[in-house]
Chain A
Amino acid sequence: SQTIHQWPATLVQPVGSPLSLECTVEGTSNPNLYWYRQAAGRGLQLLFYSVGIGQISSEVPQNLSASRPQDRQFILSSKKLLLSDSGFYLCAWRTISGEQYFGPGTRLTVT
Chain B
Amino acid sequence: KQEVTQIPAALSVPEGENLVLNCSFTDSAIYNLQWFRQDPGKGLTSLLLIQSSQREQTSGRLNASLDKSSGRSTLYIAASQPGDSATYLCAVTTGYQKVTFGTGTKLQVIP
Contact = CB atoms under 8 A, between A and B. Distances in A.
**Chain B interface, >50% SS class:** strand
A90 to B, nearest CB: 6
Contact of A34 (B41, B42, B99, B102): B99
Indicate the size class of the contact surface on chain B: 20 to 34
Given A97-B49, A98-B49, 11 more contacts: A34-B99, A42-B103, A43-B102, A44-B91, A46-B99, A57-B97, A92-B44, A101-B46, A102-B36, A104-B42, A105-B43
A74 interface: no
Interface string A83-111: 00000101010000111111111010000
**Chain A interface, >50% SS class:** strand
B28 interface: no
B31 interface: yes
A107 B43 CA distance: 11
A59 B102 CA distance: 17
